[in-house]
Chain A
Amino acid sequence: MNKIIIAEDIMQEHEVKRYFEIWRESVIRSHLTITAVFLKLANFTPSTEVERCNINVQISNFLKSKIRKTDLLFQSADGDHWGILFLQSSDVEAEAFLRRIYKMLKNNNVVKEFNQLGIKASITEIRNNHVTFDTLVEKNKEKLADDSQPMWLIERVTDYRVQPIEQVKVSIIEQNVIFRKVLETTLHQLHIPNFALEVTAYEDGYSFLQSNTYKSGHTHLVVMNDILPRKNGLEILHTLRKMPNEKKFIIYMMSERNSEGAILNAYEGGVDEYIVKPFNLRLLEAKIKRTFARFWL
């Protein structure tokens, strides 16, 4: 059996495992998409141990020079695979990275003395926490195990790309009962991929603050009028923005006032969207969809 060649200054599989377990739990909590890329030499059997060692070191150094500071490069325990964990990146970016380094390897003879050298890779996009590090490594090694696979191949492991459905609280605070009902129906019918909206409507600010629904840890979309009986919209805005976990609130304020001063005041107070009445309901739906689309890459 070949002696395992370990490149210097590169993290090893067992070291990365601990980091991976932490990042995996952040996938859902922080909407942090991770993409793992595994690389292996294709159709290449080194004639000597020295040659193998030489290639390994050169490939490692090449990869190290091409990744960002937020990416993590490591070498597998068997010494035949390299792994890169891309944080905050989707498979699209990972594939673009691979295409880029493939091009460099093909054109520039990065690994000197071995003109015919080629690599192959597999990509795994991770959008849930159902994967362990060992399974991840095993599945990717399986994808690249076939020695007859061509050079510059890009395989994919798609088992972990389904996002879990996230529960989102939606509070509508509007005095006009008919319009409130319209908003409630519209938001009930709104389909946002990977998010389940739990819609509740209130006729005034006080009943919203009494309900305590805003005290849970869920992401919370608040669609409210600026003028409301009892507690008005701006008071609610200040209450929510003073809370320690205020970032979980997405606040849309509706108003009949279209003046620069009123709009600036609302944005400075912390609203995410200011919507002047009358407005188009389809536009409101589109804005909400875009807001949630930004949550995940």
Chain B
Amino acid sequence: MIGLSIHFLLSVIALLLVLFFIFVLYLFFQRERENHFLTARETYIKNYSQCWYEYLFNDEIFSVVLVPRGRAQVEAIEIIFSSYLKNIINENVRQKIKEFSNVYLIKFYAQDLRSKRWSIRMNALYRISELHIDELLEACKKLERTNISETEYFQLLKIYSSFQPDLFIEKIKVPNASYSESEYRRLFVLLEEDVFIRFFDEFDRWPANIQYAVIDTAAAKKNMKYIDRLKQLLTHDVTEIKIRALKGLFEIGVIDDIEPFVPFVTSDFWEARLMVGKIFKHVPLTYTYSYLELLLQDENWWVRSQAAKTIAEDREGLAKLQQFIASSSDQYGIEMAQEIVARKQGNR
């Protein structure tokens, strides 16, 4: 049996109680601090959000009461600015937010960039990008030279893409980290038109991930200026690039000439034939019917289905499909045409 004196046990219990008491006090203190922080933040939002509205939207004179005093008020301003930037487009408002942030928020974020905590540094990087605090570009470059994480580097690239596009392109050529297509898309979507178009100029120098992301971003931007660039890629050696260019052109949805697409009707790749079937939705049936009729007799189900759907979308489409059913000898094509006709008639 272990021999412990009552006195020793009481001392241990007393010590534990003291520790527990100190811990409770600490929690209580932290809780109070947090409440105080939240109250200060909410009070600022309540008292000054209308003043911010008047200043930003109605050109009222800027009041010094809006200048933040302490972290809670900075966070309140972040919430207000974020609400505006996410919901409203207004160049004047954006400019005012940028000017204010570059003067009054800069010292807070500069301090945050030097923090040892990753989450604080990340938050600062997000805000610098969102509020366009270009005065902190040098501080960001300094941060890059320290031992930072991949996500921080990604955020830095976003900042460079907005503030110094040349530096962004330089950095992306020698990647410190390899990103996925979707991550590259997130970077490219922020680029100005003149910077983004440069990716097409040096297209073959980029790795496949970036090439795919460039094509997909051009499609997502739905900008007609990229149509010619995408058309040029239709003659590229890599099949994946050709298919993605076709998909991009379909998504932009403006087809002025069907000639570049005709060779794909007989492509060896069913994905390319499928995309042509989709692209022809944007062209009157009179120009495309002969090709769509070929696609309707394709060996691939997806291609046949798309060709039938594209034909059916035209005003004369149903009649054309019925004519095809009556005259064709291709059983698969006839079945597909019958299915689409039945579906279309059922929707009426």
Write the residues of chain A forming the contact surface with B, with a CB cutoff of 8 angstroms.
176-179, 181-182, 185, 254, 256, 277-281
Contacts and interface: CB of A to CB of B under 8 A. Distances in A.
B74 to A, nearest CB: 16
A233 to B, nearest CB: 15
A279 B45 CA distance: 23
A277 B57 contact: no
Contacts of B90: 280-281
Interface stretch (B77-85, B232-240, B306-314): B77-85
Given A278-B88, A280-B89, A179 B83 contact: yes
Contacts of B53: 181-182, 185
The B interface, classified by DSSP as helix, strand, loop or mixed, is helix
B290 interface: no
18 contacts: A176-B86, A177-B45, A178-B49, A178-B79, A178-B80, A178-B83, A181-B49, A181-B53, A182-B53, A182-B83, A182-B87, A182-B88, A185-B53, A278-B86, A278-B87, A280-B88, A280-B90, A281-B90
Contacts of A185: 50, 53
Nearest to A176: B83
Contacts of B79: 178
A182 B45 CA distance: 13
Interface of B: 45, 49-50, 53, 57, 79-80, 83-90
B57 A281 contact: yes
Given A178-B45, A182-B53, A182-B88, 4 more contacts: A178-B49, A181-B50, A279-B87, A280-B89
A178 B84 contact: yes
Given A181-B50, A182-B53, A185-B53, A278 B89 contact: yes
Contacts of B88: 179, 182, 278-281
B93 to A, nearest CB: 9
A157 B57 CA distance: 43
> Which of A177, A178, A256 has the most chain B CB atoms closer than 10 A to its own CB?
A178
Contacts of A181: 49-50, 53
Give the one of B53, B57, B87 with max A CB within 10 A.
Answer: B87
A153 to B, nearest CB: 49
Contact of B89 (A182, A256, A279): A279
Contacts of A278: 85-89
Contacts of A277: 86-87
Contacts of A281: 57, 88, 90
Contacts of A279: 87-89
Nearest to B52: A178
5 cross-chain pairs, A with B, having the tightest CB-CB distances, nearest first: A178-B83, A179-B87, A278-B89, A280-B89, A179-B83
Nearest to B90: A280
A176 B87 contact: yes
A280 B86 CA distance: 11
Nearest to B45: A178
A161 B57 CA distance: 36
A279 B86 CA distance: 9
A280 B90 CA distance: 6
A280 B87 CA distance: 9
A278 B87 CA distance: 4
A117 to B, nearest CB: 52
Contacts of B87: 176, 179, 182, 254, 277-279
Contacts of B49: 178, 181
Contacts of A254: 87
B308 to A, nearest CB: 20
A185 B60 CA distance: 15
Contacts of B57: 182, 281
Nearest to B91: A280
A254 B88 CA distance: 11
A280 B93 CA distance: 11
